[in-house]
Amino acid sequence: MCKQYNENPFPLEKLNIYHTSPDSRNNTKQRILESGLEVEMANAEKTSLEISSKGIDKGIGLEQLCEFLAIPLSKTIVVGDADNDKGAMKKSWIIYCYDKCQ
């Protein structure tokens, strides 16, 4: 995957990597940490990993969407179920997290 990207680079805002197990995902996270890449990582679903630029998460996206639509954050509701929803949950006025939310 890295070789393919290096041969044909393109702008990248977010990368979702799907794994076969939580252990495999944890191995990927460890390798990324050891590489020194400055990125945000969030668990998604049972075995997925979301990677984005440092400082970027769903909370930033929610802020920008609200600014674009001229809606105050105090009028937002966030429904989430995983680690990747935490950023938006920290910004929203009302949050709902499913039973299995991490």
- Residues 46-97 have pLDDT tens digits of 999 999 989 999 999 999 999 999 999 999 999 988 888 999 999 988 877 7
| The pLDDT of residue 61 | 92
- For residues 22-45, average pLDDT: 94
Q: The pTM is what?
A: 0.75
Q: Is 62 within 8 Å of 93 (Cβ atoms)? A: no
Beta bridge partners of 64: none
How many H helices and E strands in the chain?
4, 5
- For residues 17-42, average pLDDT: 95
| The pLDDT of residue 3 | 82
